[in-house]
């Protein structure tokens, strides 16, 4: 092999191979780059679920969580009757400060109650 052919082959390997090696070494997994997502009531609001539900609905906003003051909600939604759900200041504080899940029991309506779960989205 002539010296010029040898130099051409080496330069081709350097031009093509080195960027690939550099790219491979610079890659990282998503877990290395992005923080693990956490639920946050103040940033994302809440998710709610109503046990034994038949059309009731409840929305607890991030603003309600931030205020951390007791609030009573009507949860009739598309149900044929209404219930009331009261979230205490202490429960709002848990949502706000601990990003945890709380459960409350609705008022009685049509002879029954519902367990309502509020968690951070």
Measured CA distances, 91 to 7, 54, 62, 98 (Å): 74, 25, 14, 10
Indicate if 68 and 50 belong to the same structural domain: yes
Q: Give the mean pLDDT per block of 10 residues along the chain (121 residues).
A: 66 54 49 66 95 97 96 97 98 96 97 97 94
Indicate if 23 and 48 belong to the same structural domain: no
**Cα-flanking dihedrals φ and ψ of residue 19, to 5°?**
-60, -35
Indicate if 63 and 113 belong to the same structural domain: yes
> Domain total for the chain?
2
The model's pTM = 0.69
68: domain range? Answer: 41-120
Indicate if 19 and 56 belong to the same structural domain: no
| pLDDT number for residue 38 | 81
| pLDDT number for residue 10 | 65
Indicate if 55 and 108 belong to the same structural domain: yes
Indicate if 62 and 112 belong to the same structural domain: yes
């Amino acid at each position: 092999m002539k010296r010029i052919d040898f130099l051409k082959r080496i330069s081709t390997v350097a031009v093509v191979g080195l960027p690939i090696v550099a790219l491979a070494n610079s890659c990282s997994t998503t877990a290395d780059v992005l923080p693990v997502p956490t639920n946050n009531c103040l940033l994302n609001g809440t998710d709610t679920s109503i046990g034994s539900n038949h059309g009731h609905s409840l929305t607890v906003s991030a603003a309600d969580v931030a205020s951390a003051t007791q609030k009573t909600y009507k949860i009739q939604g598309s149900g044929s009757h209404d219930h009331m759900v009261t979230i205490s200041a202490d429960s709002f504080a848990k949502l706000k400060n601990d990003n945890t899940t709380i459960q409350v029991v609705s008022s009685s309506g049509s002879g029954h109650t519902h367990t309502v779960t509020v968690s951070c989205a």
